[in-house]
Structure 1
């Protein structure tokens, strides 16, 4: 009974995150076209000194460059392949399908959205990293949300204690927030780009989890025959 209530609570939480993420993304669509919003410009300028240099000590900018790499396609693909191999060895086929659906699908969706909106990158402050694609929505923010939340959910499902599950999910959320924040600090994204990436990434990750959960379980071992 208790486990059933926990499962129902997890499903309701996933539905709420999915709905909130889609609603947040819809509200941010208006900022993807036209002149930069006051919110975007205020945040970017607050992260720069009057001489144009980033705020904080010198090592902070270097750390942000390292952190932003955690949301890059190469790092997330490598992490996904490692998790794919581990799950395949354990024959966790539903989890394997979740990985195959979530991360590659999010990469394709983000590419299509960037091409569709074609929002220019910020030119209000100096950029501390090289960029080549459009700005909305942030690929690093969206893909890190999908990748780390999906991997965190899979690891948390295997944890037995509640505090272990809370720690795993907390780390996944913290990594997602750090990666997105680093993009704004480096001046390569408007804050609304990152917020949109977080919203859509969380909604995509939870939507994939709910979709795979609704499929019939085929990786369960049949009950042993009676003696």
Structure 2
């Protein structure tokens, strides 16, 4: 029987259905045999971060080249004009609340609080460690991206409060929401026994990630392409963190099987 706490939509996350996945799991186990499971998970996260960082750097290079010639930048002006038409006192208030909730203060509290609750429910610190990794990695990529690409935000006259002052690219709110939101949803789904609950969690996470990004454009805090890069980078990092967690579960299963055979 498959443990309900290791499945998402009926699929056991400890198993790998592709050859690259199987090779990755074997490599992870070999590393764990040499340095230990915890260190192997840390190295897996670092490796995933390097892959995401390299992909992001390549995307930034393409972004600079394309926007310098008018490609995706054509989306920014129309998106901002649409955002201005959609604004109203109630809409601005809602978008501002999202900005505060997923901002520099609210997001760390939300991340650590959610991770702590998951850890208490599962009686292990593993969920907290992976949620913290998702948040820490997304923050690092946000800071690096802003230092590499010094893009100005939309003009203040085109924006609505709360106003921002740091470089525009990429959208930190969006990266954080995408990475942490996806990882938290995945960890919560592992604790569900009903398919309907899993669907609800996936829908809530997707809606939240989309809403945070849309709110940044709506307020004029970011250009649309800043948000698109935030979505892709955040979800890329979330994929790396989730993969590392799956490797952790696979290793735990292998170690339990080895212990059982030894008995």
Q: Shorter-chain TM-score category? A: 0.7 to 0.9
In structure 2, the residue matched to 1:122 is 154
- Between the aligned partners of 2:179 and 2:104, the Cα distance in structure 1 is 12
- Between the aligned partners of 1:174 and 1:25, the Cα distance in structure 2 is 27
Pick one of 119, 126, 146 that aligns with 1:94. Answer: 126
In structure 1, the residue matched to 2:81 is 45
- Between the aligned partners of 2:196 and 2:14, the Cα distance in structure 1 is 16
- Between the aligned partners of 2:119 and 2:171, the Cα distance in structure 1 is 31
> Deviation string for 1:116-153 (max 9, x for gaps)?
11111122852212112111111011001112111111
In structure 1, the residue matched to 2:34 is none
Matched, 1:74 2:108: no
- Between the aligned partners of 1:149 and 1:92, the Cα distance in structure 2 is 20
- Between the aligned partners of 1:131 and 1:25, the Cα distance in structure 2 is 24
Structure 2: segments with no counterpart, 5+ residues = 22-47
- Between the aligned partners of 1:194 and 1:11, the Cα distance in structure 2 is 32
Deviation at 1:83, TM superposition (A): 2.3
Residues 102, 204 of structure 1: 8 Å contact kept = yes
Structure 1: segments with no counterpart, 5+ residues = 50-54
TM-score for both structures, normalised by structure 1: 0.79
- Between the aligned partners of 2:174 and 2:92, the Cα distance in structure 1 is 18
In structure 1, the residue matched to 2:252 is 217
- Between the aligned partners of 1:144 and 1:25, the Cα distance in structure 2 is 20
Residues 41, 124 of structure 1: 8 Å contact kept = no
| SS of match in other structure, 1:158 | coil
- Between the aligned partners of 1:165 and 1:26, the Cα distance in structure 2 is 34
- Between the aligned partners of 1:59 and 1:10, the Cα distance in structure 2 is 47
In structure 1, the residue matched to 2:90 is 59
- How many residue pairs get aligned? The number is 214
Larger fraction in helix: 2
Residues 103, 143 of structure 1: 8 Å contact kept = yes
Residues 68, 180 of structure 1: 8 Å contact kept = no
Q: For the structure 1 residues 120 and 11, does the alpha-carbon distance in structure 2 shift closer, same or farther, using more than 3 Å as the test?
A: farther
Q: For the structure 1 residues 119 and 75, does the alpha-carbon distance in structure 2 shift closer, same or farther, using more than 3 Å as the test?
A: same
In structure 1, the residue matched to 2:209 is 176
Matched, 1:31 2:63: yes
| SS of match in other structure, 2:152 | coil
Q: For the structure 1 residues 60 and 11, does the alpha-carbon distance in structure 2 shift closer, same or farther, using more than 3 Å as the test?
A: farther
Matched, 1:83 2:136: no
The worse-fitting range, judged by mean Cα deviation, of 140-149 and 38-47 is 38-47
